[in-house]
Structure formats: C-alpha cells, structure tokens
C-alpha cells in the first residue's frame, strides 16, 4: 500500500506532541572522573570549609601584625624566626611578641599569627632574624578558613551540566561520587539497500551511511546515550522484527530513511502496526524535512527522520534535540542568533515553513547567503553556519533585508570565504591557512560561480580558470564581462594540464579529441555549463569542427554524451572509472587520483580573484603570502598536473 501525505502537521504542533512525553528519568551515582558533561541530580552541600584553616596566600613570614605597625624601610622591625610552616607540614608551636615563622604559599598559619609579610618586604639578617620593611594589617596575605567555600554552602546546584570547574569544586569538598540523571538511551537505525557503513566496500550505486553518524554525535552533545544499531534493508519483515526488538531496550528509537511516499517505503505501515496508538504524525509542513514520522508503540516514542542528510539533521535539531535535552535534564535553550543582511534575494519553499540553511561572512557587517546545494547533500550543513526561518506565507527575502540567522551549535563565522573552481592546489593552500589558525569557508561552484560570488561580496577569494574563446586568454577578459575591474584584483596562480581522461590502458584506443567527432562508439561525459573546463572543451571542439569543415552545432550532435554534465573534475574521473563513459575532459590531477590514463590537450591558467575590500583581512594577507613561500611552491609543483611558473602571486594590472 502506498501512503500519501494527505494532512501535513505544522512544526509547532509536532513539537507540542513530543514535549508531552515525560522523560524516562532515573538517577545514578557515578565517580567524579566520569561526571564530566553529566547533569547533576542533587544539590551538593559542603560539609567542610575550604580552606579548612587559615593559610598563607604568598611566600613570606607569619607574624603578629601589631609588631609591624611602625615598620618601613627607614625604621625596620627586627623579628626572631622561630621555625617554618610548609604546605602539608604545619608549624605546631605558637608565636609570641616580635617572633615570626617562615611560611610557604598555602601553608597553615601558626597559632598566634594574624598576618603574613611577603618575602620581598623583608631582609634576612641572619639564620635567626629578619628585618621587616613594611607594615602589614591583620588578615593581610591570608586566606581565611572558609573564605572559598563555607561549611553548609551549596557548592553546585541540581540541574547543572558539570564542567571541569564544577568538578573541581566537588573535589574540593571531598565528593568522590555524585548523583546524576541517567542519560536517555537512544537506538539509531539507518534504512535503505543503497547504504554501506563507512569502511565497507563501496560498489557502484551504493553510498556511505551518513545519518547514523551525524545523529549519533548530535545525541551525545545533547546529553543522550546513543547506540548505532546498523542498517536495515528495505524488507518489511526484517525491518519490523529489528524495530520490535529495539523497543524493549531503548527509551527512544530514531530511524532515518524509508519515510517518504515512494512505493518502496514501508516505515509508515510498520509503525502503524506496532501501535497502538501507532503513527501520530506523518509529514510536516516544513522544508527540508517534510517526510518526518512520529509514532508511539508499546509506550516508546519512535521518530522516523528523512533520509537526506540535511533534512535529517534539520528535523533532529528542530524536534529531536529538545526532547533529548529535556529527558537528560538539560535546559532547552534556543540557538544563538545574529542579525545579518541578505546579500541577495533568498527564495523559500512556497506553502511550507522553510528552515533555510545559510552561510555568513563578516564584511563591514554580517552578510548572509543561501547555501547552494540541496537537502540530499551533507555538505549543505557542513558549509552552512545556521539557518533562517521563512514562514509558509513568505516566499522571498529581498536583497538588503535584515534577517535573524539561527547559528548551529559551535559555529564560528569564517575568517575567509573562498568560492569558485575546485583544485587540489587550492586545497593545499587552504589546508595551510587552516594550520595557521584561520576558519575557512569553501564552496566550489565553478569559475563562473566564482566570478559571480566575488561580484556580490559572497567571496573574499575565488579560484577561476575561464577561457575566452575569442582571445584564448584566461580570466582577464572576464573581469570586464562581470564589471569587476574596480572591485577585484586578479592574482596569478599556476598552470594546470587539461586533457582527455580515459580508462586505464585506453581500451578503445582513443588518440585525440577528433575521435569524438569521427567515431560513433564513444560515450563522452561533459562538464557543466559555466565551468572553465566546459569553456575550454567548447573552444577546442569549435576549432576541430572548423578543421573538419563542419559547424559547431553539427560537431556537438556527433558527440554522444555532450549533454551529460557533471559538476567537478572528480565526477568526470568517477564516470570513466565506473564505466559510465569512455572518455571525459578534465585535469590530470583528477585522472591521477583514480589511476586513469590521460592525453594532454592544453595548459590552462588557474588564477585567484581577490576582492579589494578583503585585502585588509589578515586571513587574505596570509593566503597571498603563501604564494610567495618557497616551501608551498615546492609542494604545489609536486602535485600531478600542476606546474608553477614565475608569475605565481603577481597582481595583474587591469
């Protein structure tokens, strides 16, 4: 039976349903060494004073303050040294008039003393006498008994998430164990025949399981005790059996995948049959995250999360995180928010509340941009800094409009934003930048995407390799086409080798680009329009077509696979590697990564656009300094298919 979303629940109602469930809360006692990040389940009251005695705050001499009242450098007071008090080894006698005890920091004050003269304010006259050069008042340089913690004082309150500071205080009052709330036990299943656990063999058509790992980590940070229960195949009986067994052991079950309306998705039917009451919610009027299922079976709560990583994590943060925090005794605080300016028009999902992932850069003010990938991509959230909420009746945020960005936990706004064409040489440079302590935000959209991003202030730096077919010059002609001359500096990069990527051994004996036009047994894989590689390919094909006396349009018709596009050099290499294409155009570096053959066709220049207003940023200055570093130059030259010439790092005058 195919289940269609007929009545979508709004996010607020789904939240209310979940918050009605009381925690399966119990209390356990744990050693102090295992209490970090746990939630304290008792008020801890000290039954000792800390310190338990008057002790010296500094190295010096314990004295009677009244003996020093008239002391100064011209009228020193002579005192007899009667002994020494050290930490753990107190002086057991009593001092009298004009007597002193040598005392170390933290050592107990002897009977009769009421102040400490620091060592720098004394002169040792001989083994038995000192001269005091400055008067002290009663209590000076002394930590009194109970001055830190008093007997009967509440040291740490119930509900506190224990950090190293609180654990130190608990140790100071002698607590070896503390009572904490037991962590809610959460079982995690991923579902889908296409999934493989990381570390397993990735056959064609398979993908690695992402969701159970992101969810597992999120549960730990929210105070829960997660356990990965593996990957369930899309088989009704097996799924139902495994879920039934897990219900006996866990307080909450989380399942990702198999929740949408596809004919193969069976989760809805299983959860309905495991009730009563069964399914409480099937579908939420939100994007991403519409195919969410909430159910109750045998007194246990089950939440079915969407399969796409961004959808799954978005719903986790909106609905699951609060309930795990509640059950673990933590406060349900909202995310940190910042005010930012929409740097471009932002479009929401019509008719649904939209939790739209965005990334933020710091210019003169915070600027925010939508993350340009879909909910199927884990990189959507790894590149995003937070999200904005667009209500279901709001379709557009206008450029320049103020928005509240809800930051993801642990977000640090990047020091530098890099957008454009991907390259392993750029990866090397950015890795070095991160090693220097900078936070780097990277989005690879191709050369045209880099030009556009730099123009709308989204990027500080863009990697580009755009070929102008009229002049056969790289990058410089596009500065005028995108009206960037006054806004951007063009910094020379390095040379990359472009060519045909072929299966190892070149089984179809391809010799040149012309084979694509003269043979009908070759399947080609192309790059996306707007990429530098696509510009090069179209220019090369046009040149070959002229040499053969045909039009470009006719040449394109002869290329089987011309309209099959992928968005990266790695995707070209992967298509060839897996046998989806016989040949593709890409950089030699990508061919080497997949151990494929390569036929050189052209050298291209991979350069860097730098926004002039970003030149004041320390991270940008550091990036440019890398281009002058001999060690970095050597490492760039060591990469297959990359060659550094004397122009690296030079600014082109436009």
**What CATH architecture applies to the domain 11-23+183-327?**
3-Layer(aba) Sandwich (3.40)
- pLDDT by residue (tens digit) across 509-549? 999 999 999 999 999 999 988 888 999 999 999 999 999 99
Query: Would the pLDDT of 79 be above 70?
Result: yes
Please check whether the domain covering 337-413 is classified as CATH 3.30.70.20.
no
User: To which residue do tokens 């338990």 refer?
Assistant: 52
Q: What pLDDT is attached to residue 386?
A: 83
**3.40.50.300, 3.20.20.70, 3.40.190.10, 3.30.70.2610: CATH of 435-652:** 3.40.190.10
Specify whether the CB–CB gap between 354 and 390 falls below 8 A. Answer: yes
Q: What pLDDT is attached to residue 233?
A: 86
Higher confidence at residue 596 or residue 49?
Answer: 596
DSSP string, 220-257: HHTT-EEEEEEEE-S-HHHHHHHHHHHHTT-SEEEEES
Which ranges in the chain are annotated with CATH 3.40.190.10?
A: 435-652
Query: Would the pLDDT of 564 be above 50?
Result: yes
Q: What pLDDT is attached to residue 250?
A: 94
Q: What pLDDT is attached to residue 118?
A: 96
Distances (CA, A) of 82 to 93, 96, 99, 103, 610: 9, 10, 7, 11, 73
DSSP string, 39-90: BB-S-EE-SS-BSSS-EESSSEEEE-GGGGTT--SSS-EEEEEEEEEBTTB-
Higher confidence at residue 368 or residue 113?
Answer: 113
Tokens of 169: 């205080």
First-residue to last-residue Cα distance in the chain: 65
> Which range is most confident: 140-154, 162-176, 253-267?
162-176
Which ranges in the chain are annotated with CATH 3.40.980.10?
A: 11-23+183-327
Which ranges in the chain are annotated with CATH 2.40.340.10?
A: 337-413
What's the sign of the alpha-carbon dihedral 330, 334, 338, 343?
A: positive
Judged by average pLDDT, the poorest of 56-60, 395-399, 474-478 is 395-399
Per DSSP, 613 falls in state G
**1.10.10.10, 2.170.190.11, 2.40.30.20, 3.30.70.3400: CATH of 55-143:** 2.170.190.11
* Mean pLDDT, the chain, whole residue set: 88
- pLDDT by residue (tens digit) across 12-26? 888 899 988 887 778
Query: Would the pLDDT of 10 be above 50?
Result: yes
Rounded Cα distance between 224 and 470, Å, is 61
Rounded Cα distance between 76 and 573, Å, is 86
Q: What pLDDT is attached to residue 219?
A: 93
**What CATH architecture applies to the domain 27-50+148-181?**
Alpha-Beta Complex (3.90)
Query: Would the pLDDT of 6 be above 70?
Result: no
Side-chain-side CA neighbours of 559 within 13 Å: the count stands at 28
Q: What pLDDT is attached to residue 3?
A: 46
């Amino acid at each position: 039976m195919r289940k269609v979303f007929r009545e979508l629940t709004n996010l607020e109602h789904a939240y209310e349903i979940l918050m009605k469930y009381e925690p399966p809360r119990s209390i356990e006692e744990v050693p102090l060494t295992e209490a970090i990040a746990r939630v304290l389940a008792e008020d801890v009251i000290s039954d000792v004073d800390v310190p338990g005695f008057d002790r010296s705050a500094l190295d010096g001499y314990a004295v009677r303050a009244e003996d020093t009242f008239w002391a100064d450098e011209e009228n020193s007071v002579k005192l007899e040294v009667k002994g020494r008090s050290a930490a753990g080894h107190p002086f057991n006698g009593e001092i009298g008039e004009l007597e002193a005890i040598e005392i170390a920091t933290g050592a107990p004050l002897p009977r009769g003393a009421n102040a400490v003269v620091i060592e720098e304010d004394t002169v040792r006259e001989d083994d038995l006498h000192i001269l005091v050069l400055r008067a002290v008042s009663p209590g000076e340089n002394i930590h009194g008994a109970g001055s830190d913690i008093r007997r009967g004082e509440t040291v740490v309150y119930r509900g506190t998430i224990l950090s190293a500071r609180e654990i130190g205080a608990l140790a100071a009052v002698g607590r070896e164990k503390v009572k904490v709330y037991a962590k809610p036990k959460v079982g995690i299943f991923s579902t889908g025949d296409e999934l493989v656990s990381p570390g397993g063999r990735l056959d064609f058509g398979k993908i690695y399981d992402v969701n159970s790992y992101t969810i597992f980590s999120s549960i730990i940070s929210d105070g829960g005790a997660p356990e990965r229960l593996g990957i369930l195949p899309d088989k009704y009986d097996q799924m139902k059996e495994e879920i039934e067994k897990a219900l006996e052991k866990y307080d909450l079950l989380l399942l990702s995948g198999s929740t949408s309306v596809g004919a193969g998705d069976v989760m809805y039917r299983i959860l309905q049959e495991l009730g009563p009451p069964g399914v409480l919610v099937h579908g939420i009027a939100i994007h991403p995250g519409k195919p969410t299922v909430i159910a109750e079976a045998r007194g246990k709560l089950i939440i079915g999360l969407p399969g796409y990583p961004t959808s799954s994590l978005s719903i986790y943060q909106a609905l699951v995180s609060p309930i795990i925090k509640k059950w673990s005794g933590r406060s349900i605080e909202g995310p940190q928010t910042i005010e930012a300016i929409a740097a471009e028009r932002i479009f929401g999902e019509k008719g649904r509340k939209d939790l739209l992932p965005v990334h933020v850069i710091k210019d003169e003010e915070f600027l925010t941009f939508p993350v340009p990938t879909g909910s199927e991509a884990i990189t959507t959230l790894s590149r995003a800094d937070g999200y904005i909420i667009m209500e279901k009746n709001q379709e557009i945020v206008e450029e320049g409009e103020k928005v509240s960005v809800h930051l993801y936990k642990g977000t640090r706004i990047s020091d530098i934003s890099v957008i454009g064409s991907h390259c392993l040489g750029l990866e090397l440079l950015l890795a070095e930048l991160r090693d220097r302590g900078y936070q780097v935000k990277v989005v690879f959209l191709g050369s045209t995407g880099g030009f556009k991003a730099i123009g709308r202030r989204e990027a500080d730096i863009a990697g580009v390799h755009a070929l102008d077919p009229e002049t056969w010059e790289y990058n410089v002609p596009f500065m005028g086409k995108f009206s960037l001359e006054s806004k951007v500096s063009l910094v020379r990069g390095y040379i990359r080798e472009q060519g045909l990527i072929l299966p190892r051994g070149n089984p179809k004996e391809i010799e040149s680009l012309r084979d694509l036009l003269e043979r009908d047994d070759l399947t080609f894989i192309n790059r996306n329009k707007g990429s530098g590689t696509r510009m090069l390919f179209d220019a090369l094909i046009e040149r070959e077509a002229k040499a053969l006396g045909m039009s470009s349009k006719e040449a394109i018709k002869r290329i089987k696979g011309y309209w099959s596009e992928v968005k990266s050099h790695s995707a070209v290499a992967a298509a060839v590697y897996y046998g989806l294409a016989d040949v593709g155009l890409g950089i030699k570096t990508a061919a080497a990564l997949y151990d494929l053959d390569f036929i050189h066709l052209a050298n291209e220049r991979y350069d860097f656009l730098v926004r002039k207003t970003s030149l004041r940023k320390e991270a940008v200055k550091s990036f440019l300094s890398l281009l002058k570093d001999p060690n970095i130059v050597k490492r760039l030259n060591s990469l297959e298919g990359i060659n550094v010439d004397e122009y690296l790092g030079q600014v082109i005058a436009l």
